[in-house]
Amino acid sequence: MQIGLFIPCYIDQLYPHVGIATVQILEKHGYQVDYPQAQTCCGQPMFNSGATKECKSVAEHFLKTFRDYETVVCPSGSCTSMVRNHYAHVVGGNNDYETLKNRIFELCEFLVDHAKVSQLDVSFPHRVVVHQSCHGLRELETGKPSELMIERESKLHSLLALVDGIELVHPKRLDECCGFGGTFSVLEEALSCAMGNDRIIDYEETGAEYITGADVSCLMHLGGLLSRQKKSIKTLHIAEILAGTVQ
Amino acid sequence: MTEAAIQSNHPQQAEAFLKDLKRARWHDQALWFMREKRDKGVLGLKEWEALREHASRIKMHTLSHLPKYLEQFESEASKRGIQVHWAKDGDEHNRIIHHILSQHNVKRVVKSKSMLTEECHLNDYLIEKGMEVVDTDLGERIVQLANEPPSHIVIPAIHKNRQEIGELFHQKLNTPKGETDPTRLTGAARMHLREKFVQADAGITGVNFAIASTGGFVVCTNEGNADLGTSLPPLHIAAMGLEKLVPTPEDLSVFLRLLARSATGQPVTSYSSHFLGPRPDTEMHVVIVDNGRTGHYAQAEFRRSLSCIRCGACLNTCPVYRRSGGYSYGYTIPGPIGTTLAPHRSLEKFHTLPFASSLCGSCSNVCPVKINLHEQILLWRQKLYNAGIVSPAKRLALGGMSKMFTFPGVYTLGGNVFRGVMSLIPGNVIAKITGAWGKQRDLPPIPKESFRQQYKKMKGHE
Amino acid sequence: MSSRDSILQALRSAQHSSQAPEVEHPGSFEQAHLFDDPVEQFLESVKVVAGTTVTCADWKECAQHIENHELFQEAKVLCNLEPKLSFSAPNNGTDQEWVEMHEKDDPHSFEKVDLCIMNGQFGVAENGAIWIDNRFVAQQAILFLTQHLMLTVQRQEIVQNLHQAYSRLSFDSIYYGCFISGPSKTADIEQSLVIGAHGPRSLTVYLIG
């Protein structure tokens, strides 16, 4: 099966290694990956600012770029949810959207639900804590949000459990927002950083060496705080661990 | 302090709140504790999610037939001897209540918690007319003595620690200096308020639920203050937002199962008091209040927020509310529900509120009546943008962004230039350029090549 | 136009113009989980809400237990609203004052009551709540003025949950009713739970039968 690879703009520009790791893990599990060069952004920054009209042309461009793929995979829960869920308010009724919304998957979702990965052959002998990004968790339902009284497995945890030598630890607050929130990170700078710092303290108290997650945006925010404070705990996108591109 | 006196610049207020980081952390943890209690309280209930769905549908049903149910309520209540009044706005609400009180020569009023009377600033109105109005919920009494508005809809004095309350009680209620024990402070308030209850000429309450089929209404408290305040004096006035209806007592069972569990994790409040008419030789009045609700009702996409049962769960779970406090919203009702309600009053005045959210969605998940809170917050951002209440600079940037992302050539070029320039500039200078981002955060190391460049090379070698 | 009419008209025209769908009522809630032993659950729930429970075989045993209770012995002013309970009053020759209740009483006259004893109509297993209404207490003020409250409930009068509770309630001929779940409490000071906010400082529930 050929997969259309959607690499969000900030991964393309700032975290290319996350994109590379995504390609590697998909290829390793027998998928052909194609990266359409015409892709740009899903339009989330505009949509979340209320600029629905400005978002529309971006969304239409996105649909045009990806409409011919049977499956689209993206290493970001937030961007995937933008396309799958929020495009309904931007380009709802558009035929390409109505098809694509059922064909676009966040990476972990794809690996668990479609690739049905049960073996990874990678090792990461470290203590790791998972940062559950809100949009993946609550909108894509990649795990059980702590508020809901339902049974649902965390796809991130299931995948990480397949990694040799990894020790998964759990924070006190299982899924509190890190405070990135797109433009929120700059419009409410003080709050955003306070939220991030509280996450960091919670994660540090687990004794973890690494914070991992399925959204680079959250990790960029947490990583930015960690770097400024010269803290030792590090951030890694889950694709890097699953692909074995980091040791 | 009135609502108007509070600035509604959320980022500024939040930053000020966070200046005292230790206190902000304490506030965050106190509210998170409420969230944990809620989780424990609902954990044992296997049907929880089904119950939420059911409640949501009852409310949506009721709202879509609201005029009919209001008329039914009025007619049934009247049959029971309850006098029903209608108020278009806060001012009329205040005037009606004052009129009833003065007809009875009332000097002293005791009041149990009602966010609606806060919204209408009833206390100020009656006090100005020479009446004594005493809030009897302990938390409300604390903020009343401190001359502050509530900072939370269920625990109004949550922003104050025991030392501050101890000092306040020392000054106002003559408790010993340095007394900070919650049991002894509560004991002092009990004695002080017992006197007020006994002396009161009238009791005012809110309405948690009004039942259309019986014409009665229900008030929920843990302290028993609504009952004490209404069972002694010969006059009971209840203030009710017009959205407070449920069709039948059977429906009420669904909401009473949800309310306290969501609010504090208790299976039900200590007292669920059903008022179905005046006691012999007394009077009971209900004032049904619009105050902007019909305008809100007309906007179908926002209608679900009229289902709110004021449990406070969305405040407790909100990472923003917990770290910015109730006053940062500048509106009677703070937190996610306040953020969705306040712009109905004035989009201009509350324009920072829809952006005071990371859109994490936790509020929508805890809401016992499944209000799509974070989606409504997003909707307000669209309204703000369309109304032109977004700064021109930001508007331009978003327009530019749109063009860049619509044309891949522009995007690729932009990205390359960005990375090239960034890699040449020292970190401290970048911090300045990146402004709000860089105040406390570094940017990641700037890679030499974008993903698309690396990918091209990778595929070229194959 | 009166405020009433203008409000109702505004709502009607909003419902019409907004084209919001008319939502059907979902009917009764049928998914409630039932307890295997509702009586046991009821007793457990009363404890959860900070009440105390005593189980008695019959009214006589209940009266005896109450008479030996320190709250009873220390009480100076008492009121018993349950005719099935008879006490050898005045107790032990002490100067206890017993008050009676009549419909025309001034509710303020119960201000000094230390202990009030009455029968609740039924109890709710899921939350420990007990239903009281004005047919059995003409002046409900006493329930909140009393320093301590003792409620009796008969074993066969325990329902599973609030859905069952409301299906047996009728509101036709009452002006006041209340679900009482535990004593009066507050957590408004730093969320530390304090029992005895304005109302009773304790609630003792006697399960009879």
Three-state helix/strand/coil letters over chain C: CCHHHHHHHHHHHHHHHCCCCCCCCCCCCCCCCCCCCHHHHHHHHHHHCCCEEEEECCHHHHHHHHHHCHHHHHCCEEEECCCCCCCCCCHHHCCCEEECCCCCCCHHHHCCCCEEEEECCCEECCCCCEEEECCCCCCCHHHHHCCEEEEEEEHHHEECCHHHHHHHCCCCCCCEEEEECCCCEECCCCCCCEECCCCCCEEEEEEEC
Res. B389 pLDDT band, cuts 50 70 90: confident
Residue C137: both structure tokens together: 């207490």
Q: What are the phi and psi torsion angles at A215 (to 5°)?
A: -130, 120
Q: Is the dihedral of CA A19, A20, A21, A26 positive or negative?
A: positive
> Which among A139, A185, A186 has CB closest to B361?
A139
Which B residues, 369 through 428, put their C-beta within 8 Å of a C-beta on chain C?
none
Query: What is the pLDDT confidence band of residue B1, given thresholds at 50, 70 and 90?
Result: very low
Report residue A132 as tokens: 């559950």
User: B402 or B446: which carries more pLDDT confidence?
Assistant: B446
Cβ-in-10-Å burial (0-12, 13-18, 19+) of C55 comes to middle
Task: Write down the mean pLDDT value for chain A.
Answer: 96
Which pLDDT does position B5 carry in this prediction? Answer: 41
Residue A153 has pLDDT above 80, yes or no: yes
Q: List chain B residues with CB under 8 Å of A7.
A: 451-452
B98 CB-contact burial (10 Å; exposed 0-12 / middle 13-18 / buried 19+)? middle
Residue C73 lies in a domain: yes
Residue pair C97/C109 in contact (Cβ under 8 Å)? The answer is no
Q: Which residues pair with B271 in a beta bridge?
A: B221, C180
Q: Read off the pLDDT of each residue in B224-236 and give the average, rounded to a whole number.
A: 98
C-alpha A47/C-alpha B385 separation (Å) is: 10
B264 DSSP β-pair partners: none
- Sign of the dihedral defined by the CA atoms of residues B207, B211, B214, B218, in that order: negative
Number of residues assigned to chain C: 209
Give domain status of residue C5, yes or no: no
Q: What is the pLDDT of residue B4?
A: 44
- Chain B closest CA to A209's CA: distance in Å? 18
- Evaluate if residue B393 carries a pLDDT over 90: no
The answer to whether B301 faces chain A, any CB pair under 8 Å, is: no
Per residue in A95-124, pLDDT (tens digit) is 999 999 999 999 999 999 999 999 999 999
Q: Spell out the domain ranges in chain A.
A: 2-114, 127-243
Distance CA B304, CA B376 (A): 9
Q: What share of chain A is helix, strand, coil (3-state, %, to 5)?
A: 45, 15, 40
Residues in C touching B271 (Cβ below 8 Å): 178-181, 184, 199
Amino acid code (one letter) for A26: L
Q: Is the pLDDT of residue B431 over 70?
A: no
**How much of chain B, in percent, has pLDDT values that exceed 70?**
91
pLDDT(B81) > 50: yes
Q: Would you state the pLDDT for residue B427?
A: 60
Where exactly are the structural domains of chain B? Answer: 45-291, 393-461
Q: Are strands B271-275 and B216-221 parallel, antiparallel or unpaired?
A: antiparallel
Interface list for B 389-448 with A (CB within 8 A): 390, 394-395, 398-399, 401-402, 404-408, 411, 415, 418-419, 435-437, 439-444, 446-447
Contact flag B319-A11 (C-beta cutoff 8 Å): no
CB-based contact B49 A19, cutoff 8 Å: no
pLDDT > 80? residue A1: no
Q: Give the pLDDT mean for B142-149.
A: 97
Structure confidence at residue B3 as a pLDDT band (50, 70, 90): very low
Q: Is A209 helix (H, G, I), strand (E, B) or coil?
A: coil
Q: B224 and C144 in contact by Cβ < 8 A? A: yes
Which residues make beta-bridge pairs with B211? Answer: B216, B246
What CATH number is attached to the domain comprising C95?
3.40.50
Q: Is residue C89 part of a domain?
A: yes
| Mean pLDDT confidence for A189-217 | 98
Q: For residue B246, report the phi and psi dihedrals to the nearest 5 degrees.
A: -130, 150
Q: Would the pLDDT of B7 be above 60? A: no
In angstroms, the CA B398 to CA A169 distance is 40
Give the position of tokens 């945890």. Answer: A157
> What's the mean pLDDT in B262-275?
98
Domain extent for C150: 51-121+129-156+176-208
SS (H, E, C) chain B: CCHHHCCCCHHHHHHHHHHCHHHHHHHHHHHHHHHHHHHHHHHCCCCHHHHHHHHHHHHHHHHHCHHHHHHHHHHHHHHCCEEEEEECCHHHHHHHHHHHHHHCCCCEEEECCCHHHHHCCHHHHHHHCCCEEEECCHHHHHHHHCCCCCCCCCCCCCCCCHHHHHHHHHHHHCCCCCCCCHHHHHHHHHHHHHHHHHHCCEEEECCCEEECCCCEEEEEECCCHHHHHHHCCCEEEEEEECCCEECCHHHHHHHHHHHHHHHCCCCCCCEEEEECCCCCCCEEEEEEECCCHHHHHHCHHHHHHHHCCCCCHHHHHCHHHHHHCHHHHCCCCCHHHHHHHHHHHCCCCCCCHHHCCCCCCHHHHHCCCCCCHHHHHHHHHHHHHHCCCCCHHHHHHHHHHHHHHHCHHHHHHHHHHHHHHHHHCCHHHHHHHCCCHHHCCCCCCCCCCCHHHHHHHHHHHC
pTM summary value: 0.95
* Beta carbons within 8 Å of A175's beta carbon, 6+ residues apart: A132, A134, A137, A143, A145, A146, B362
- Give residue C104's pLDDT band: very low, low, confident or very high (50, 70, 90): confident
- Output C112 or B443, whichever has higher pLDDT: C112
The fold of the B45-291 domain, in CATH, is: Rossmann fold (3.40.50)
Q: How far is CA B392 from the centre of its chain?
A: 31
Given an 8 Å threshold on Cβ–Cβ distance, is B444 in contact with A14? yes
Q: What is the mean pLDDT of residues B310-330?
A: 98
For residues B53-79, give the mean pLDDT: 98
What's the pLDDT band for B403 if we cut at 50, 70, 90? confident
Whether the complex's predicted ipTM is more than 0.90 is answered with yes
Q: Most B CBs within 10 Å: which of A147, A151, A235, as the mutation test of the B interface? A: A147
Which positions in chain B touch C49 (Cβ < 8 Å)? 266-268, 270
> What CA–CA distance (Å, rounded) separates B219 from B247?
16
What domain count does chain C have?
1
Phi and psi for A164 in degrees, rounded to 5?
A: -65, 140
Q: What is the pLDDT of residue C137?
A: 96
Give SS3 for A4.
Answer: strand
Helix (H, G, I), strand (E, B) or coil at A129: strand
pLDDT tier, C19 (very low <50, low <70, confident <90, very high otherwise): confident
E strand or H helix at A110: none
Q: Which residue of B has its CA nearest to A63?
A: B406
Contact yes or no for B136/B228 (Cβ under 8 A): yes
Please write the tens of the pLDDT for every residue from B287-319: 999 999 999 999 999 999 999 999 999 999 999
Within-domain flag for C24? no
Alpha-carbon distances, residue C23 vs B65, B66, B239, B294, C20 (angstroms) = 8, 11, 27, 18, 9
Higher pLDDT, C101 or B401: C101
Asked whether the beta carbons of A208 and A127 are under 8 A apart, the reply is yes
pLDDT at B408 over 90: no
Residue B110 structure tokens: 């005791």
Q: How far is B449 from chain C (nearest CA, A)?
A: 52
Chain C residues in contact with B193 by the CB 8 A cut-off are 198
Alpha carbons C118 and C175: distance in angstroms, whole number: 18
What local confidence, expressed as pLDDT, does residue C181 receive?
98
Chains that touch C (3 or more CB pairs under 8 A): B
- Is residue C169 in some structural domain? no
Q: With CB atoms and an 8 Å threshold, state whether A148 touches B365.
A: yes
Q: Which of B216, B231, B268 sits opposite C144 (nearest CB)?
A: B231
| pLDDT tens, residue by residue, A49-89 | 999 998 999 999 999 999 999 999 999 999 999 999 999 99
Q: For residue B432, what pLDDT is reported?
A: 56
pLDDT at A171 over 80: yes
Residue B121 pLDDT > 70? yes
Tell me, yes or no, whether C136 lies in a domain: yes
Average pLDDT, chain C: 95
Give B269's contacts in chain C (Cβ within 8 Å): 181
